[in-house]
Amino acid sequence: MAEEFETQERHAAEERFQAEMVELEQQRQEALEAKRSQEETRLVKEKQTVEWKKKTASIRREQRAQVDALRAQLDARDVKLEEHTSHVLALRLERTAISKQGRDATIAANLVRAWDLILVHNRL
């Protein structure tokens, strides 16, 4: 009877051991799957980060190119504005000179008329 009891106990212990081994293997598999899943998630995030950095760098390059193009346009407009301003100033100087010549001629004509009037008045 003791041998039978010992055999049953041994058999029960082997079954418990097998059940524990199955459970441990299942836990190991779950841990491996969780680790794989975490690794996949990490790789996806790294890939997304790399893509995001590339996209951001591309956008920055495009923005810099646009800013440079706008600066070039502004510089060209500044040159044209400077040329126009210079031309306008030259025209104003020319008109002022012409106006002064006209005033001088008018003043000279008025002085001649005034002299003539004085001479006429003195003859009377």
User: How many domains does the chain contain in total?
Assistant: 1
pLDDT digits over 27-74, tens only? Answer: 999 999 999 999 999 999 999 999 999 999 999 999 999 999 999 999
pLDDT digits over 63-120, tens only? Answer: 999 999 999 999 999 998 888 888 888 888 887 877 777 777 777 787 888 888 787 7
In a domain, 124, yes or no: no
In a domain, 70, yes or no: yes
- The answer, yes or no, to whether residue 124 has pLDDT greater than 70, is no
In a domain, 101, yes or no: no
Instruction: Indicate the pTM of the whole model.
Output: 0.48
CA distance 50 to 33: 25
Structure tokens of 94?
């020319």
Domain of residue 14: give its range. Answer: 1-94
